[in-house]
Amino acid sequence: MSGSDIEVLIEKFARLPGLGPRSARRAVLELIKNKNSLLWPLIQALENTANNTKICTRCGNFDLIDPCNICNDPKRDNTLLCIVEGVADLWALERSGCFKGLYHITGGLLSAIDGIRPEDLNLENLSLKINELNISEVIMALSATLEGQTTAHYLAKFLDDTSVKVSGLARGIPVGGELDFLDDGTLTTALKSRRPL
């Protein structure tokens, strides 16, 4: 392995989200220093992931099987469908353990600026899936950004001719959040979506 091979490796690591050139250098150095405990196991894990990861044809999740473990699980509530932008969002909801229904990944958000149109999103089998699975409620778990909300409204209209209830995530004060630290948008939305106590 020459110095330039190491540079190539650092450059690849630096392209990963959350890692800049500095962190990439530190990570690569750590791997080289700990060949047996880090580098070889990482190579093995990367190879397994590259060889065995599939995209679930039902929801868009990454898994070793298709349909994925979530779509395959008979214990999941198949009356609830949660629409998320990407796999990271699905994983975040799964980590929280608060949602036991099924998912649909759009693979992006509508954006006039970036030229992302409905046909660029993964929506083809959505209405078919809703009818097949007996879905009674679709939850839009999309970002509280202009693109996220535009997409949620588009999808709500798209689902207008089905009989499902469409809901969105509440926007408000995070658990443990102090009013003083909230941005104006969050505080305004929290006040607008107030509820009886």
For Zn ion, which is the closer residue by CB, 63 or 147? Answer: 63
Sheet holding 102-105, edge to edge: 102-105, 80-84, 137-140, 165-168
Closer Cβ to Zn ion, 45 or 65, answer by number: 65
* Residue 72 beta carbon to Zn ion: minimum distance, rounded to whole angstroms: 8
Binding-site ranges for Zn ion (CB under 5 A) = 56, 58-59, 61, 67-68, 71
Smaller CB distance to Zn ion: residue 129 or 171? 129
Supply 25's token pair: 């250098």
Smallest separation (angstroms) from Zn ion to the CB of 74: 13
Residues contacting residue 121 through CB under 8 Å, at least 6 positions apart:
106, 107, 108, 109, 110, 151
Smallest distance, Å, CB 90 to Zn ion? 9
Helix (H) or strand (E) holding 26: helix 21-33
Structure token pair of residue 173: 């004060």
As measured in angstroms, the least distance from the Cβ of 65 to Zn ion is: 9
In sequence order, what E strands does the chain have? 54-55, 62-63, 80-84, 102-105, 137-140, 165-168
Nearer to Zn ion, 27 or 102 (CB): 102
